[in-house]
């Protein structure tokens, strides 16, 4: 029975779920009307009223009940008609006038005054004071009846009833107005809080600063001690956030950010039912007792893998209730800012990449141009070098035809012979270079004795050097390990160096040396010749570069020898360089890895790209 009564009261007082909010007051007025009808219906027999009037009032009450019932049914269906309250105001006025007409009540204008004062009091001070005023007035009315001996009439019941209901109604209206105003104030405060919080977001476009500002803004808006932004567990491509960003409003306070990060991760891992709509937050109780608010940063119409934002309030304090739409707007602004910053970052890195690619391209272009230039020069040089001996051969052979003298013929034949040797050397060198550069060189790899190699070279050159009255020494320091590689090519390198030494030395000694240095063998050819100026020391390793031509007129060579030597040595994993002083002689040195190391290098495939090794 009690429950039934409570249910009915609740049904009458609280409008249905989908009931328009602006008609809530109208709905409650229906309930108040029912209460007053019951009050009047029950109080009527007590009133000292003649039968006609009583009958009229019951009829009136029946009409009023139909009116109130109709309102109750129609209001949810046609809310528009009742939105402004014109109909109900008219109905209520007619009802009140009829009640007062049939029931009597306000014999003196003094009561109108009382009504005004009671309503004003209720509007100003609420239920308590209004109730006290009503009690006071009714008390005096009763006192008058008792003292003067006037019989209690319906007029008295009406007066008191109206006074009572007016007080309650006015107090209720006051309460509603106050609530609406405080809700409005609250929203205003939250909106300005939201503006202040999100103003921090616009300060920068840098990703790190934006996420830090987002955490700071969250902690500010929700009044939390700490806020964290955690990246999604499964990171999407191009997502620049790596580790959680923590903002603590009070660095000395009790910091729960580890627990908060864990809560965020749990929420990401789907351990709690994640809120579906943006701005809908998850309220969690952390092990430390603090309340945490966790919400995913996502936009309504897009599925973006964005970090989760969590805010924690210190234990004992709760994260304040913030309006759903304020939170939604906050989430939206934070999400957009983070997205913009990420976009900006991607753009910036793309533009850096582009700039780098452009620079690489410019370098490659430059390289291509210089390669092209080198090829052109190479071709020009080769044709020039080919033409010189060819011209000699042609002119001497033409002359040969016109001379009968055997001695002259022999002299010419010797020139023709040496020029064709030079031509052969040049063609061989050019072929070697072409093969090396196109990677078609055949390498006959084998292990060989370093000592033997040196001996063989010495045997070939000793008579030539003696012929030129030059001294020759072979200096072997310590035990020489075995080498591994193309023996003929290495021999070609030493011969070339000895040949150069011979060419550029007028007097003195030429020394062929070898020693072990670590995992390498260092081979050197030292002469006491003209030497190479420091500025030319790198240049002579380039193709067709000949320096010091003044001394020997046209040096007997192609200018390709050292370039080929350097490539051969590099192919074996070694280096070739010069140490020299102009006028005092030169030492050409090169290293070769000992056989064990060289075998490994060759086992791994092509030893070294030539340009890298050089």
437-442 contacts: CB < 8 A, separation 24 or more?
437/610, 441/571
Report the residue from 88, 558, 591, 595 that binds ligand ADP according to the rule CB under 6 A: 558
Q: Which range in 407-415, 432-440, 446-454, 552-560 contacts ligand ADP by CB under 6 A? A: 552-560
Position 548 contacts ligand ADP (CB under 6 A): yes
221 near ligand ADP (CB under 6 A): no
Judged by beta carbon, residue 274 or residue 545, the one nearer ligand ADP is: 545
Work out whether 382 is an interface residue with ligand ADP (CB under 6 A).
no
Which one of residues 121, 296, 310, 529 is an interface residue with ligand ADP (CB under 6 A)? 529
Nearest to 564 by CA among 424, 426, 381, 432: 432
In the numeric block, which tokens belong to residue 462? Answer: 């000793």
Residue 570 binds ligand ADP, judged by CB under 6 A: no
Residue 197 CB contacts under 8 Å (≥ 6 apart), including other chains: 217, 218, 220, 221, 330
How many residues touch ligand ADP under the rule CB under 6 A: the total is 22
Using CA atoms, how far apart are residues 360 and 362, in angstroms rounded to an integer? 5
CA dist 557 and 488 (Å) reads: 20
559 is a site residue for ligand ADP (CB under 6 A): yes
What is the phi/psi pair of residue 313, to 5°?
A: -100, 145
Residue spans of alpha helices (H) in 255-302: 257-268
540 binds ligand ADP (CB under 6 A): yes
Q: Which of 60, 527, 594, 598 forms a contact with ligand ADP (CB under 6 A)? A: 527
Nearer to ligand ADP, 193 or 564 (CB): 564
Measured from the CB atom, the residue of 29 and 532 that comes closer to ligand ADP is 532
Return the ∠ at Cα 445 (arms to 600 and 541), rounded to 5°: 90
What CA–CA distances, in Å, run from 291 to 75, 170, 287, 318, 440? Answer: 42, 40, 9, 6, 75
Residue among 256 and 527 whose Cβ is closer to ligand ADP:
527
Q: Does 511 bind ligand ADP (CB under 6 A)?
A: no
In the complex, the smallest distance separating the C-beta of residue 603 from ligand ADP, rounded to whole angstroms, is 31
Kindly state the smallest distance separating residue 578's Cβ from ligand ADP, in Å. Answer: 8
Nearest-approach distance from CB 437 to ligand ADP, in angstroms: 16
- Judged by CB under 6 A, which of 547, 589, 601, 613 binds ligand ADP? 547
Which range binds ligand ADP by CB under 6 A, 64-72, 439-447, 460-468, 551-559? 551-559
Tell whether residue 501 is a contact of ligand ADP (CB under 6 A). yes
The phi and psi torsions of 578 (rounded to 5 degrees) equal: -125, 145
Closest approach, Cβ 565 to ligand ADP, in A, equals 7
Shortest CB 548 distance to ligand ADP, Å: 5
The span from the CA of 438 to the CA of 427, in Å, is: 16
Whole-angstrom distance, CA of residue 514 vs CA of residue 510: 13
* Residue placing its CB nearer to ligand ADP in the complex, 315 or 388: 388
- Examine residue 504 and tell whether it contacts ligand ADP (CB under 6 A): yes
Residue 514 class from Cβ within 10 Å (0-12 exposed, 13-18 middle, 19+ buried)?
A: buried
Closest by CA position to 257, among listed 217, 334, 314: 314
Please name the residue ranges forming H helices in 439-480: 450-467
Q: Smallest distance from the beta carbon of 554 to ligand ADP, in angstroms? A: 10
Closer to ligand ADP by Cβ: residue 204 or 509: 509
User: Contact 523/477 with Cβ under 8 angstroms?
Assistant: no
The answer to whether 211 touches 245, Cβ cutoff 8 Å, is yes
Which of 166, 291, 337, 586 touches ligand ADP by CB under 6 A?
586
CB 561, min distance to ligand ADP, A: 3
Q: How far apart are CB 559 and ligand ADP at their closest, in Å?
A: 4
295 binds ligand ADP (CB under 6 A): no
In the complex, the smallest distance separating the C-beta of residue 597 from ligand ADP, rounded to whole angstroms, is 28
**Contact region with ligand ADP (CB under 6 A), list: 147-155, 268-276, 286-294, 494-502:** 494-502
Count of other CB atoms within 10 angstroms of residue 594: 18
* Distance of closest approach, residue 577 Cβ to ligand ADP, in angstroms: 12
**Rounded least distance, CB 536 to ligand ADP, Å:** 7
- Which residue among 320, 377, 546, 577 contacts ligand ADP (CB under 6 A)? 546
State how far the Cα of 176 lies from the Cα of 170, in Å rounded to an integer: 10
Cα(276)–Cα(271) distance, integer angstroms: 14
Q: How far apart are CA 108 and CA 105, in angstroms?
A: 9
Note whether 436 binds ligand ADP by CB under 6 A: no
Query: Is residue 193 at the binding interface for ligand ADP, with CB under 6 A as the rule?
Result: no
What is the nearest approach in angstroms of ligand ADP to the Cβ of residue 447?
28
Residue 210 interacts with ligand ADP (CB under 6 A): yes or no: no
Interface with ligand ADP by CB under 6 A: which range of 39-47, 72-80, 274-282, 493-501? Answer: 493-501
- Packing angle, helices 86-103 and 51-77, rounded to 10: 170
- Give just the sign of the alpha carbon dihedral 139, 143, 149, 150: negative
| Positions 78 through 117 that interact with ligand ADP (CB under 6 A) | none
The yes or no reply on residue 561 touching ligand ADP (CB under 6 A) is yes
Q: Considering beta carbons, is residue 365 or 539 the nearer one to ligand ADP? A: 539
For ligand ADP, give the closer residue by CB, 258 or 538.
538
Q: 304 near 334, Cβ under 8 Å?
A: no
CB of 587 to ligand ADP, least distance (A): 9
Stretch that binds ligand ADP, among 29-37, 49-57, 126-134, 526-534 (CB under 6 A): 526-534
DSSP string, 337-402: HHHHHHHHHHHHHHHHHHHHHHHHHHHHHHHHHHHHHHHHHHHHHHHHHHHHHHHHHHHHHHHHHH
593 binds ligand ADP (CB under 6 A): no
Which are the contacts of 249, defined by CB distance < 8 A and separation ≥ 6? 219, 220, 224, 225, 226
**Quick one: 454 exposed, middle or buried, by C-beta within 10 A (0-12, 13-18, 19+)?**
buried
Which residues are near ligand ADP by CB under 6 A? 496, 500-501, 504, 527, 529-530, 532, 540, 545-548, 555, 557-563, 586
């Amino acid at each position: 029975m009690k429950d039934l009564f409570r249910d009915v009261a609740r049904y009458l007082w609280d409008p249905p779920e989908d009931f328009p909010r602006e008609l809530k007051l109208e709905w409650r007025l229906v309930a108040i009307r029912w209460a007053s009808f019951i009050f009047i219906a029950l109080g009527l027999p007590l009133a000292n009223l003649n039968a006609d009037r009583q009958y009229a009032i019951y009829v009136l009450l029946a009409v009023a009940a139909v009116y109130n019932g109709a309102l109750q049914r129609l209001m949810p269906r046609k809310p528009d008609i009742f939105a402004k309250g014109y109909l109900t105001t008219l109905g209520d006025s007619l009802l009140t006038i009829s009640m007062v007409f049939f029931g009597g009540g306000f014999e003196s204008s003094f009561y109108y005054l009382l009504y005004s004062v009671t309503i004003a009091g209720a509007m100003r001070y609420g239920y308590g004071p209004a109730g006290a005023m009503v009690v006071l007035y009714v008390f005096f009315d009763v006192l008058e009846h008792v003292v003067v001996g006037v019989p209690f009439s319906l007029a008295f019941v009406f007066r008191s009833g109206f006074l009572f209901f007016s007080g309650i109604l006015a107090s209720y209206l006051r309460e509603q107005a106050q609530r609406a105003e405080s809700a409005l104030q609250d929203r205003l405060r939250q909106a300005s809080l939201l503006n202040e919080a999100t103003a921090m977001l616009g300060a920068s476009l840098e990703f790190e600063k934006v996420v830090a500002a987002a955490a700071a803004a969250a902690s500010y808006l929700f009044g939390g001690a700490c806020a964290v932004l955690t990246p999604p567990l499964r990171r999407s491509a191009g997502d620049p956030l790596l580790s959680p960003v923590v903002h603590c409003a009070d660095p000395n306070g009790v910091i729960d950010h580890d627990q908060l990060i864990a809560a965020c991760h749990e929420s990401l891992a789907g351990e709690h039912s994640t809120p579906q709509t943006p701005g809908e937050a998850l309220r969690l109780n952390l092990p430390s007792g603090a309340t945490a608010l966790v919400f995913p940063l996502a936009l309504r119409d897009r599925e973006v893998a964005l970090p989760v934002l969590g805010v924690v309030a210190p234990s004992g304090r709760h994260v304040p209730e913030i309006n759903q739409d304020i939170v939604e707007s906050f989430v939206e602004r934070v999400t957009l800012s983070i997205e913009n910053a990420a976009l900006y970052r991607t753009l910036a890195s793309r533009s850096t990449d582009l700039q780098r690619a452009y620079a690489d391209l410019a370098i490659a272009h430059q390289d291509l141009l210089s390669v092209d230039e080198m090829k052109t020069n190479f071709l020009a040089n080769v044709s020039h070098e080919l033409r010189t001996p060819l011209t000699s051969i042609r002119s001497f052979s033409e002359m040969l035809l016109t001379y009968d003298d055997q001695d002259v013929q022999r002299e010419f034949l010797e020139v023709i012979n040496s020029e064709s040797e030079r031509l052969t050397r040049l063609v061989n060198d050019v072929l070697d270079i072409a093969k090396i550069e196109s990677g078609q060189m055949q390498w006959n790899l084998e292990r060989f004795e370093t000592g033997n190699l040196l001996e063989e070279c010495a045997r070939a050159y000793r008579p030539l050097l003696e012929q030129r009255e030059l001294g020759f020494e072979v200096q072997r320091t310590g035990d020489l390990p075995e080498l591994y590689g193309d023996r003929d090519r290495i021999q070609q390198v030493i011969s070339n160096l000895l040949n150069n030494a011979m060419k550029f030395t007028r007097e003195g000694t030429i020394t062929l040396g070898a020693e072990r240095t670590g995992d390498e063998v260092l081979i050197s050819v030292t002469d006491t010749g003209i030497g190479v100026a420091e500025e030319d020391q790198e240049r002579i390793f380039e193709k067709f570069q000949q320096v010091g031509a003044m001394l020997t007129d046209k040096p007997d060579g192609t200018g390709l020898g050292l370039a080929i030597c350097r490539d051969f040595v590099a192919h074996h994993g070694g280096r070739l360089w010069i140490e020299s002083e102009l006028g005092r002689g030169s030492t050409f040195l090169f290293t070769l890895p000992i056989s064990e190391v060289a075998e490994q290098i060759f086992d791994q495939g092509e030893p070294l790209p030539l340009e890298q090794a050089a």
